[in-house]
Amino acid sequence: MTSPPLSPIRVLLADDHAIVRAGIRQILEQAGDIHVIAEAGDGQAAQEGIQQHEPDVAVLDIQMPEASGIEVTRWARANKLKVGILILTAYDDDPYVLAVLQAGANGYVLKTASPEELVQAVRDVHGGKSALDAAVTRKLMTHLFHQPEPPTVEALTERELDVLRLTARGYTNKAIGVQLGISDRTVQGHLAHIFAKLQANSRTEAVMRGVAQGWISQSVGEIKEE
């Protein structure tokens, strides 16, 4: 497990059931390094809370009145907000999982997770990593490997493959730049080309598509999303 940060992780919690929010809040705040700064009972309130409080991480349910967790995620990414998005839900159906990741969420945890797993997921998202429930990871990999006609993608250059493989190992843009002797900005440029070629919307999705193409072999659990 990663070590707790020096300053508390500021969390916004959104779920349309007050009793569920109370339970999740208790679990998170008992960790000692997480502080729930705001709660929301629907998607619109979640958006307003994110704008007002600028949390480090937003923990969102999928099914909420006014706007779903997926819609809130899309809104946050469209507005280039730096908040980490962790979906906490009872739904593990493939359409939900794929829609959430394509929307740009940083993590997807089921409500069957243990308190320790939930706390670690919040820490991972805050630390720039993906946090995917093991069952969700299996579903996603199954989906990618069993598409009837895998999408044809443009081949990556050797340097782009280097960047993708280091991304899969959990390196940040800065660390990738150090490894390859290039600037952060150049790494960002390579990632933009990789996303376009692989038709991916996140580092996790790009790595998963790289795995599906046979270019890399790596779990998605430690991928850093920047």
pLDDT single digits (tens) 123-146: 988 988 777 766 666 555 555 545
Q: What is the pLDDT confidence band of residue 6, given thresholds at 50, 70 and 90? A: low
- Domains of the chain and any CATH numbers: 9-144 (3.40.50.2300), 158-212 (1.10.10.10)
For residues 183 and 180, give the distance between their C-alpha atoms in angstroms, rounded to a whole number.
9
In a 10 Å sphere around its CB, with 0-12 CB exposed, 13-18 middle and 19+ buried, how is residue 89 labelled?
buried
pLDDT band at 219 (very low <50, low <70, confident <90, very high): very low
Q: What is the pLDDT of residues 14-29, one digit of tens each?
A: 999 999 999 999 999 9
Is pLDDT of 218 > 50? no
What pLDDT, on a 0 to 100 scale, did the predictor assign at position 220? 44
pLDDT over 70 at 67, yes or no: yes
Rg (CA), the chain: 17
33-63 pLDDT, tens per residue?
999 999 999 999 999 999 999 999 999 998 8
pLDDT at 171: 81
Q: For residue range 142-185, what is the model confidence (pLDDT) as tens digits?
A: 555 455 555 567 889 999 999 998 888 778 888 899 999 999 89
- For 131-169, give one letter per residue: b (16+ CB within 10 A) or e: bbbeebbebbeeebeeeeeeeebeebeeebbbbbbbbbb
